[in-house]
Each structure stands twice: as structure tokens, then as C-alpha cells.
Structure 1
Amino acid sequence: MTEHEGHQTGIRTRSSVRRLDRRTLLKTTTGAVAGVSLSGCLSSYETMVGRSDEDESVTIGVLAPDPDSDYIGRSIVQAAEVAVEELNDNGGIDGQEVDAVVGDTNGSPLEARRQYQRLVLEEGADVTVGVFASEALMNIMDDIAEQETIHLTSGAATTAASGLVNDEYDRYKYHFRVGPNNDSDLGQMQIDFIDEMGPELGWESVALLAEDYQWTEKPWEVYQEQLASTGVETAMEERYSPATGDFSDLYDEAEAEGADAVFITTAHTGNEALLDWSYPNRPEPQPQPRPFAFGGIHVPMQLPAYYDMVGGACRYGFGQSSATATSSITDRTQDFVTAYQDAYGGSNPVYTGYHTYDAVMLFAEVVEEAGTLDADELVSQIESVSFTGAAGTAEFHDPSHEFAHDLVYRKEDTLYFQWQENEDGEGVQEVIWPEEQATADYVTPPWLE
């Protein structure tokens, strides 16, 4: 046995004993309990208040990239903070106070694994939530299985994780994706949007662009299989290099082929793609406006502060998101938005925030219903749950499904927004689809009218 294996075995045994004690406490303790306050827990992302094995509280482990500086990571942490405060204000989980410990993954798969192990083995997390990058999630899947501790993903979209659950259920069953929808469903969202909105907006043909990363492979497959069925033609299609910094040639081709809209799938190259399209925000010499609409799965455009970040260049751009500050997907959506704004000076969460809040509240609900923290019992409980959260209704594919334990795609809970400007000159993410969720009509860029 190596030194590493011996170390892991010793800690894992200690963690298992601790979980057993906690299950007993949940069943026998009914009075008020002592615990660490949320504000104290989350005052530092690395150094947390220590806890003994006898602490009668439920611990949420939160995995987030660069929460001090990254909007997506910060939303994960702050949404967990909002959820924990709400739970404690309402008696905790099954009478137990709730606390949270945070692991900064630093955008690194290796650091994600180190932080996961710290949260579970050293901090005694009863559940972990979060993770943004698909590579980070895949690098902790074996640890999730080894520790037999439920993980509720609230950022990564790869179907590779659900594939493991399907292939080796008994080993990987502890993973569930509360959001976003997986990468295959992201492609389906694009098709559904084009199918319904394309004819209404007069889009007869579209150009499909996707950055050549692994996460875009599944959406691209869906585009190839289903776009023709929408009646909207494909003017051009290209999976472009992640090193692309100038989109002029791609846009020249889209223009030459007569595309009415460019549908892009991008996370890493979104800023360059937007700025090369946006009018009048492109560099001198001032070119003519690009004669097509622009949007799709554009991760940077999902950021609530993006309008100010790019000086309004995203105006008229459209994009997919799980929720926005203007949306009312369920009765809980605006309650969460208000609580988040009140806690953080009026700022709004990005999509990872909605899903993280839902992950914590879903976990609380199933623990209350099951009366235990036993992971195997909770797996069965989560598999059958229908949970109404801030981002919609969370239900999960069963173990026999190819996307086992992934969030079930519900078109009615899917949002497309457009960046528009209000009367005060502020950028607003107005929901434009589906119709029952819309807060505004799509505005055609003035140079296309």
C-alpha cells in the first residue's frame, strides 16, 4: 500500500464513522442546536471555522472557481450562502443548523479534486454542490464514488458524468446534475428556439458556429441531426479554432451565404465573437453593420453585468440561460433574486447561482422527507423527487437512461433572453422565449429593419 493510499483509507474511515453518528443525530435530536453561523463560515474561502465530529449540524461543501474574482464562481458561493441563511432562519434541516464550507477550485481539475477531498474528508461535508468546468467535474467523479457522498452539480454540462452513472450505477450513483441541462439538451434548446422563433422573426437560414472544445460536441451533433426538421436552412457551419481572435472571415462567409442569423455556441471566445459582430462597437475603419442577428449559447452574455462590461456592445444580442433577474419561472424565482440582491448590494446571480440555490434547497427537502443523511437512502429519494426551485422543476432521469441522474429537459423552463436597453440607459436581460415566460418582445437590430 502506498503512502497516499494509506492516508486516504484512514481518513475515509473517519469520515464514514462521522456520517453514521450524524444519521443517528438526525433521528434523535429535536431541540435547537449549536453551530457556526453562515457569515462566519463564508468569511474566508480557504480557512473555515473548525468543527468537531460531535457538531450537530449539516455541512454543505461548495466547490467554485475563483469565488473572489470570477462572477460564475462567486454566484455559486453567494447562492449557497443565501440558501443556508434561509434554511437556518426556518429551523435548519430536520432541526439541525446548516453550515457551509467552500473549496476554491481555481479553475483547475487537479485543484477541484484536492478541494473536494478537503471538503469531504477534513471538513466533513454531508453533500457537495457546485463545480463549473466539465473537466473539473470529471476529475472528481471517482472521489464522489469512493466517498459515497452525494454531489449535486450546479454548473458543468458534460454528459460524460451521467454516462458513468448509467454504465456503473452502483459506483457512480451519488452524482446528480441539478443544472444546467446537459450538453445534449443545450443543443436541443437551440433547435427548439430556432423552430419556434425563426419563422416568426423571418429567419430563413442561419449560420452555425461553435468553438472547437469538447463541451460543444454534443450540441453540434444535435444541430446536425435536427436543424433540417425546423424548416430553417443552414447557410454555413463551422467548428472554429479556440484560438480564433478575429471573426471577420467567418462573418464574411456568413454574410456571403445570406445567413439571417449567426447561432454561436461559445464560452471561451464569446467576447471576440460579440465585438466583431456588434455595431457600432467594432474597430476603425468603421465597417458596415453585419447584416444578421447574433446569439445562441453564449456564456459571457449570460453574466448580469455583461452590458456594462462591454460598454453596451451586447445590445440586441440574444442568448440562452437557466434564469435571469427579470424571469419568473416559478414562484421561487423572484424570491431568490430579491434575497440575493438584498444580500449582495443589488447584484444579480448568474445561472450557476440559481442552480446552486436549488441544489442546497433540494438536498434539504429530501433529507427532511427521508429523516436521514444516509447517502444510499437519499439517492433513492432524489431519484423520485419533483422539486420546484428558482430555475424551474428539477426531476432526474432514472438509472437506465443514457443520461442517468441528469436534470430532465423541460422546454417550458428554458429561457432565451435579449440584451435590451431600458429608459434609464441600463442594459436588461429581457426574456423573449418561451412566450409564456417572455418579459419583452424581440427587438430587431435597427440596421436590419
Structure 2
Amino acid sequence: MRWAVLVALALLITLCATPEHATSGQKRDKVVIGVLAPMSLPEGTAQEKAVKLAVEEINAKDGILGYKVEVVVGDDKLDPSVGSAEFKRLATIEKADVIIGGFSSGVMLATMETMAETKTLFLADASSPSHSAKVAENYEKYKYWFRIAQNNATTFAFDIADMIKFLRYNGHEIRKIYIIRDEHIWAEDVMKSLKPLLSDLGVEIVKDVPIPRNYAEYESLILDAEKLNADLIVPILALTGTGDVLVKRWAELKPKILLAGHDLAAIDYEFYNKTNGAANYLIFLADGGALVTAPITELCREFIEKYKAKYGHYPEAHQAYGAYDAVYLYKRVVEEASKSGEKDPFNAETLVKYLEKFNESNPVILTRPIAFTANHDLVWSDKTIRNWISQWQDGKQVILYPDHVANGRLKLPPWMS
């Protein structure tokens, strides 16, 4: 009898000492937010910095439901195996309530499997439509995943097609294009959607050149585009990391060809300086619907200035906006779940349905208007998030299209006037 009493007492002590979210979800002493991204790249460090800024602000105002928020960080090193291991560490050892981050589409596919295994909410950055396709194909397994930073790569094709229409409207006839793109799954996804759109527009792809990471031999490609009478060179670049070299060669050679497309590096507010001004007249897509010089919401404007005040510079990658939004979106759905009387407002299964309430007819306005599709993609539209058609002009990024957010007009290089 005495032994039974001692066992019962020991069990009681153990239960009392166990952190709340490790058992029933009813007791806890903090909220843990994980950040997982490639920390050797600005796309990774920007996410970490943005999350920490948001958490600092939230903790200064009594946290989430009165709990202080802690940030734990993982580095996926652009390696699927490392990404999966780090996700599991954050979810199971660090006890992250939600994980924010990503970048590489290949790494994302691997980490989604670990997400499904651990049933951890994942507010993610990566562009391949194969991610949201998993949600559509097996909702119960992958429902914890939501795309937060930018639209999926299919919509990049819509934006490039609109870019061509925009250039035609402004008197620049586009019939032949020369594509330079990442040798990667995300760019392949863009091409699958882009080819039929170009066919409908009567645009011929004179050459499609996949290039590896760190490629720098752009001069021969630009000369080849001239030889093939291309009207437009369309970069579709993110992982190559040498968009600045392409721009410099274009500005040096001064071909009678516009440079307009998707170059992730061009979104960086320092890109103009990095190219010594060669980026002037480059037309690019502003991923995720935010630019330092053209914030589209008041919170976006405030975030940009707070980021600079804290870190001494503006956001170094557009992923910062998505990561900052992810923290505040998580806080919001937890609080809404609590107000609705949910037994455990931090439960991932519970929070999925609250995130899904933010759809096209009910967006949440953060640094950008955010709304989700049925398969947890971001809604692509002029009123929510799309990749604005933008241009570098005299050291400043301006939005050219759509009209309701435009703050500048198209300028052609002097050698093409």
C-alpha cells in the first residue's frame, strides 16, 4: 500500500513538472516559434531577423495570450536531408509550436514530410506548385502547410505574360523572347505554365537556356539573343545568384533588347549599388508584393522602417515580409481560437481551420493583404498578393503595373530610345 502511494505521488510530481504543451496542451510557460531557412543566404537571415523583430514587439505587449514568445532557429543549408533533420529538431526537441521559413523548393518537399510526421504548423516560403499540390492530393496529411511569402511559380508565368502585354501596350512589340533560367524545379514549373500563355500571345521562345548555380558567362548568351533577333531577354532566376553579373553585361553590351523578367536579386534594395548603377532600366517582378520604396500597406511601411532602425539596413530579401506576417498571423489565429473557446488554442489541427478563414473574400491585411486558396496557396490577384511589375529607375525601385499600386512609368534605356 505504501509503495502504491509513493508511485502515485511520484507520478503526480512528474505530471506537475511536465511542460504544458508536451502533454495535454492545457498548460505551458511560453510559446515557441521556429525559423528554418538557409542561413548563409540573405533569404534566410532576413526571415530570422523579421521573426525576431515581430517577437520582440509582441513580447513588449504581453506576448501571445499572456505567454512570452521564444525563437529557435535552424539552418537547412539548402540540403533536403539537413532541412528535414532540422525541422524535426525544432518540432520535437525545441518544441516549436509553429515553424516559419524555407526557400528552396526541393528542400521544402522534404521538410513537408517531416511536417506531416510531427503535425507541426508550417508557414512556408518556396515557390513550386508541387507543395500546394500535396495539400490538394492528401489534405489530412499536409494540411499544416501554408504558403506565406510569395505566390506559387505558376503565377510567375501569369506575371511574365502580363509584363509582355504591358510592354506591348507601351509601344514595345514583343514577338521573340530569349529565356535564361535556373536549372531547377521551380523554374521548370514556371515554364510549364508560361509556354501556353506565350503561344496564346503569339510569342516565340527563340531559346530556353537553363543555367547552374553561380553561372557567369552571360555575354555569350546576350550576343546569342541578338543573333536570334530576340525582342526581349527574360531571366527566370532565383538560385543562380548571379543576376547582378547578367545586368552588368547587358548594360555594357547595350543590345537593342530589353531585359525584363524574374530576377530575385533585383528585389534587394541594394541591387542598384551592387551593379554600380547597371541595373538602371531593368524590369523585374517584385515577389510577394512588397518593395522598400513602394510599401502597399501602412503596416508594411512601418515594418520597413522598424527593420532599418533595428538592423541598420532595410530588409535584404522579400522573405522578410512573409516571415514578419507569419508571426502576426499566428498570433491572430491563436487569439481567435481562444476567443472561440477552443480547448487548446495552440493546437495545430485547430489552427488550420482558423487560417483557412482568410480567403479571397476575407483577406487579412498585414504588410500585404493575405488570403489562402483551398490548397493553402496565396491567392494571386491585384487586390491580394501578386508579383508587381517593377523597374529600377535612377537608383529607386518603382512599380509600373497594376495601375492601382503603380508609382512610376516605364522608362527605356537611352540606347533603345
Specify every segment of 5 or more residues in structure 1 that has no aligned partner in the other structure, as ranges.
Answer: 1-15, 26-53, 280-287, 399-403, 422-426
Once the two structures are aligned, what percentage of the paired residues are identical? 28
2:199 is the alignment partner of 1:228: yes
1:240 aligns with 2:210: yes
Q: CA deviation at 1:387?
A: 4.2
TM-score (normalised: structure 1)? 0.80
The correspondence for 2:372, drawn from 369, 377, 396, is: 396
2:353 equivalent to 1:380: yes
Quote the Cα distance in structure 1 between the aligned partners of 2:367 and 2:230.
Answer: 33
The answer as to whether partners of 1:264 and 1:298 remain within 8 angstroms in 2 is yes
Deviation at 1:369, TM superposition (A): 0.3
In structure 2, the residue matched to 1:304 is 269
Q: Is the 8 A contact 1:247 1:273 kept in 2?
A: yes
How far 1:59 sits from its partner (Å)? 1.0
| Residue deviations 1:35-92 (CA, integer Å, cap 9, x gap) | xxxxxxxxxxxxxxxxxxx5x22111001212xx522111111111121122223332
Question: Hey, what does 2:315 align to over in structure 1?
Answer: 348
Displacement of 1:140 in angstroms is: 1.0
Shift of residue 21, structure 1, vs aligned partner: 4.9
Is it true that 1:70 corresponds to 2:70 in the alignment?
no
Aligned to 1:84: 55
Aligned to 1:277: 250
Distance 1:289 1:382, change over 3 A: same
Cα distance between partner residues in 1 of 2:217 and 2:156 = 25
What amino acid sits opposite 2:330 in the alignment? F
Distance 2:178 2:372 in 1: 30
Aligned-CA RMSD value: 2.2
**Residues 298 and 367, structure 2, Cα contact 8 Å, conserved in 1:** no
Structure 1 residues 184 and 275, CA gap change in structure 2 (3 angstroms)? same
Paired position in structure 1 for 2:148? 178
Alignment partners' CA distance in 2, 1:112 and 1:133 = 10
Secondary structure at 1:342 match in 2 = helix
State the aligned residue count.
Answer: 383
Match of 1:369? 336
Q: State the partner residue of 1:38.
A: none
1:19 paired residue number: 21
1:203 touches 1:261 (CA, 8 Å); kept in 2? no
Cα drift, residue 390 of structure 1: 4.3
- CA deviation map 1:184-230 (0-9, x unaligned): 11111111222234321423324141233211112112221112334
1:62 touches 1:128 (CA, 8 Å); kept in 2? yes
Q: Using the alignment, how far apart are the partners of 1:101 and 1:165 within structure 2?
A: 26
Which of 247, 251, 256 is residue 222 of structure 2 equivalent to? 251
Q: Within the alignment, does 1:214 sit opposite 2:182 as a pair?
A: no
Q: Which sections of structure 2, spanning at least 5 residues, go unmatched? A: 1-17, 339-344
Given residue 394 of structure 1, which amino acid in structure 2 is its aligned partner?
I
Q: Distance in 1 between matches of 2:245 and 2:263?
A: 11
Aligned residue for 1:356, secondary structure, equals helix
* Secondary structure of the structure 1 residue equivalent to 2:262: strand
AA aligned to 2:334 is: V
Cα separation, 2, equivalents of 1:206 and 1:343: 46
Does residue 191 (structure 1) correspond to residue 161 (structure 2)? The answer is yes
Structure 2 distance, partners of 1:416, 1:409, is 14
Inter-partner Cα distance in structure 2 for 1:17 and 1:387: 35
* 1:325-344 superposed matches below 5 A: 325-344=292-311
Distance in 2 (CA, whole Å) between partners of 1:169 and 1:151 is: 14
Secondary structure at the residue paired with 2:285?
strand
Q: Within 1, Cα distance between the matches of 2:210 and 2:379?
A: 30
**SS of residue matched to 2:56:** helix
**How far, CA to CA, are the matches of 1:141 and 1:211 in structure 2?**
23
Match of 2:391 among 400, 415, 418: 418
Q: Secondary structure at the match of 1:442?
A: coil
Deviation at 1:383, TM superposition (A): 1.3
Report the TM-score, using the length of structure 2 for normalisation.
0.86
| 2:364 maps to amino acid | T
1:293 aligns with 2:261: no
